[in-house]
Amino acid sequence: MGTNSQSTTVMATEGDVPAPAQFSDDTAVCIVSVKGLKENWQRWSSEHQEYQKNNPFSHDTRPSVVVPQRGQDDYGRPLQGSMTEQRGKDAHTHISKEVQELCEVIRSIGEPRHKDLDASSSNGKAITVEFGKLFEHYVTISNKLVGILLRARKQRLVDFEGEMLWQGQDNHVVITLL
């Protein structure tokens, strides 16, 4: 009665695998053929060599893949159908949802104010909120408020003074929902 389990490896030659010897219940038997190990290693080696031929950071690169040059439409973009392209699309969708959520929060906590006469709005009213108030309400939703505000301003959904907003010093900056 042993409490320690024992592991035994039986190596076989290139021929058939012999029948394992009888062992007690607490002994594990693992039968490995040398031929199988060699074939697995060869397969992995061949796959790795093919991968390295297409790897631009490898010293074993071959110019078999046409790389887009600066000025072409697909320059700086991932390959069509690749996992990188899919991750980029997923990230774009996620950020778009966060920008929409930000606009809804501004709409719900903001106050309607009259715009100046040069405003492009037809009714002359806009919804505004101070950054400090928005930060207090939005902090439980996301920790990326300033980045999402910058993205929303780039998409011309909101407007505010300055390039960057800092909590504390910019609490009274007015954010306008366009």
What does the pLDDT look like over 28-87, one tens digit per residue? 556 678 888 899 999 999 999 888 887 777 776 555 566 777 888 878 888 888 899 999
Give the mean pLDDT of 123-131.
Answer: 82
DSSP per position, 144-160: -HHHHHHHHHHTTSEE-
The proportion of the chain whose per-residue pLDDT surpasses 70, expressed as a percent, equals 70
Closest CA to 102 of 64, 68, 144, 53: 144
**Taking 70 as the threshold, does the pLDDT of residue 121 lie above it?**
no
What per-residue confidence (pLDDT) applies to 23?
Answer: 52
Give the mean pLDDT of 148-171.
Answer: 89
> E-assigned strands of the chain?
6-12, 27-33, 111-114, 125-130, 158-159, 174-177
Structural domains of the chain in order of their starting residue, each with its CATH number: 6-54 (no CATH), 92-177 (1.10.10.1540)
